[in-house]
Structure 1
Amino acid sequence: MASNRLACRECHHIIDPDENACPYCGSTSLTEDWAGYVVITHPEESEIAEKMEVTESGEYALKVR
Protein backbone atom coordinates (compact mmCIF):
# COMPACT_ATOMS: atom_id res chain seq x y z
CA MET A 1 0.00 0.00 0.00
CA ALA A 2 2.92 2.34 0.57
CA SER A 3 3.37 3.15 -3.15
CA ASN A 4 6.12 5.64 -2.29
CA ARG A 5 3.89 7.65 0.03
CA LEU A 6 5.57 8.69 3.24
CA ALA A 7 4.57 8.24 6.85
CA CYS A 8 5.43 10.69 9.58
CA ARG A 9 7.35 8.99 12.38
CA GLU A 10 5.82 11.35 14.94
CA CYS A 11 2.07 11.39 14.17
CA HIS A 12 1.83 8.45 11.67
CA HIS A 13 -0.06 10.53 9.07
CA ILE A 14 0.39 9.31 5.49
CA ILE A 15 1.59 12.12 3.23
CA ASP A 16 2.63 12.66 -0.38
CA PRO A 17 6.24 11.84 -1.32
CA ASP A 18 6.99 15.41 -2.44
CA GLU A 19 6.54 16.77 1.11
CA ASN A 20 9.66 17.75 3.08
CA ALA A 21 7.82 18.02 6.40
CA CYS A 22 4.57 16.69 7.79
CA PRO A 23 1.80 19.22 7.16
CA TYR A 24 -0.02 17.97 10.27
CA CYS A 25 2.65 18.11 12.98
CA GLY A 26 5.60 19.79 11.26
CA SER A 27 8.03 16.92 11.79
CA THR A 28 10.73 16.30 9.19
CA SER A 29 11.13 12.68 10.33
CA LEU A 30 9.44 10.99 7.37
CA THR A 31 9.87 7.46 6.05
CA GLU A 32 8.84 5.11 3.26
CA ASP A 33 9.26 2.22 5.71
CA TRP A 34 5.76 1.78 7.09
CA ALA A 35 3.09 -0.92 7.16
CA GLY A 36 -0.64 -1.09 7.63
CA TYR A 37 -3.09 1.55 6.52
CA VAL A 38 -6.13 2.92 8.25
CA VAL A 39 -8.48 5.77 7.43
CA ILE A 40 -9.97 7.44 10.48
CA THR A 41 -13.16 9.35 9.69
CA HIS A 42 -14.67 9.88 13.14
CA PRO A 43 -11.84 9.73 15.68
CA GLU A 44 -14.13 10.57 18.58
CA GLU A 45 -16.08 7.33 17.92
CA SER A 46 -13.17 5.06 16.96
CA GLU A 47 -11.48 2.53 19.23
CA ILE A 48 -8.55 2.37 16.83
CA ALA A 49 -8.16 6.15 16.96
CA GLU A 50 -8.22 5.99 20.75
CA LYS A 51 -5.49 3.31 20.83
CA MET A 52 -3.40 5.28 18.33
CA GLU A 53 -4.06 8.51 20.24
CA VAL A 54 -5.46 10.09 17.05
CA THR A 55 -7.74 13.10 17.36
CA GLU A 56 -8.00 14.15 13.69
CA SER A 57 -9.57 12.46 10.68
CA GLY A 58 -7.10 11.26 8.07
CA GLU A 59 -4.96 8.49 6.65
CA TYR A 60 -2.54 6.81 9.05
CA ALA A 61 0.15 4.14 9.03
CA LEU A 62 -0.30 1.48 11.70
CA LYS A 63 3.41 0.67 11.99
CA VAL A 64 6.19 3.13 11.22
CA ARG A 65 9.84 2.14 11.29
Structure 2
Amino acid sequence: MAADRLACRECHAVVEPDEQTCPLCGSSSLTEDWSGYVIIAHPDESEIATEMEVDKPGKYALKVR
Protein backbone atom coordinates (compact mmCIF):
# COMPACT_ATOMS: atom_id res chain seq x y z
CA MET A 1 0.00 0.00 0.00
CA ALA A 2 2.81 2.42 0.78
CA ALA A 3 4.22 2.21 -2.76
CA ASP A 4 1.26 3.87 -4.46
CA ARG A 5 0.54 6.60 -1.91
CA LEU A 6 2.47 9.10 0.19
CA ALA A 7 2.15 10.01 3.85
CA CYS A 8 2.60 13.40 5.44
CA ARG A 9 5.45 13.49 7.95
CA GLU A 10 3.63 16.16 9.98
CA CYS A 11 0.08 14.85 10.42
CA HIS A 12 0.41 11.28 9.00
CA ALA A 13 -2.38 11.81 6.44
CA VAL A 14 -2.19 9.45 3.46
CA VAL A 15 -2.28 11.36 0.16
CA GLU A 16 -2.24 10.51 -3.53
CA PRO A 17 1.21 10.47 -5.18
CA ASP A 18 0.39 13.37 -7.53
CA GLU A 19 -0.23 15.77 -4.62
CA GLN A 20 2.57 18.21 -3.76
CA THR A 21 1.27 19.21 -0.32
CA CYS A 22 -0.87 17.60 2.36
CA PRO A 23 -4.52 18.64 1.95
CA LEU A 24 -5.08 18.46 5.73
CA CYS A 25 -2.14 20.41 7.18
CA GLY A 26 -0.50 22.02 4.12
CA SER A 27 2.94 20.47 4.72
CA SER A 28 5.11 19.63 1.72
CA SER A 29 7.03 17.01 3.71
CA LEU A 30 5.63 13.84 2.12
CA THR A 31 7.24 10.39 2.07
CA GLU A 32 6.83 6.93 0.52
CA ASP A 33 8.34 5.41 3.68
CA TRP A 34 5.33 4.61 5.86
CA SER A 35 3.42 1.62 7.19
CA GLY A 36 0.09 0.80 8.77
CA TYR A 37 -3.18 2.28 7.63
CA VAL A 38 -6.22 3.51 9.49
CA ILE A 39 -9.37 5.26 8.32
CA ILE A 40 -10.85 7.61 10.90
CA ALA A 41 -14.46 8.54 10.23
CA HIS A 42 -15.42 10.16 13.54
CA PRO A 43 -12.32 11.54 15.23
CA ASP A 44 -14.31 12.99 18.14
CA GLU A 45 -15.48 9.45 19.05
CA SER A 46 -12.26 7.56 18.30
CA GLU A 47 -9.66 6.47 20.85
CA ILE A 48 -7.15 5.95 18.03
CA ALA A 49 -7.76 9.50 16.79
CA THR A 50 -7.20 10.82 20.31
CA GLU A 51 -3.94 8.87 20.62
CA MET A 52 -2.76 10.07 17.19
CA GLU A 53 -3.95 13.64 17.90
CA VAL A 54 -6.18 13.57 14.81
CA ASP A 55 -9.13 15.95 14.65
CA LYS A 56 -10.20 15.55 11.00
CA PRO A 57 -11.73 12.50 9.29
CA GLY A 58 -9.46 10.80 6.77
CA LYS A 59 -6.90 8.13 5.95
CA TYR A 60 -3.78 8.04 8.12
CA ALA A 61 -0.49 6.15 8.29
CA LEU A 62 0.30 4.63 11.67
CA LYS A 63 4.09 4.83 11.27
CA VAL A 64 5.90 7.45 9.16
CA ARG A 65 9.68 7.46 8.75
- Shorter-chain TM-score: what band? over 0.9
- The alignment's TM-score, normalised by the length of structure 1, stands at 0.95
1:19 corresponds in structure 2 to: 19
Deviation string 1:8-39 (CA, Å, 9 cap, x unpaired) is 00010000000111111110100000000000
1:62 to partner: Cα distance = 0.2
C-alpha RMSD over aligned residues: 0.7
SS of corresponding position for 1:22: coil
1:29 corresponds in structure 2 to: 29
Q: In proportion to residue count, which structure has more helix?
A: 2
**For residues 64 and 10 of structure 2, what CA distance do their matches in structure 1 show?**
9
SS of corresponding position for 1:63: strand
Q: Which runs of no fewer than 5 residues in structure 2 stay unpaired? A: none
Structure 1 runs, 4 residues or longer, greater than 3 Å off? none
1:40 to partner: Cα distance = 0.2
2:64 corresponds in structure 1 to: 64
2:45 corresponds in structure 1 to: 45
1:3 to partner: Cα distance = 3.4
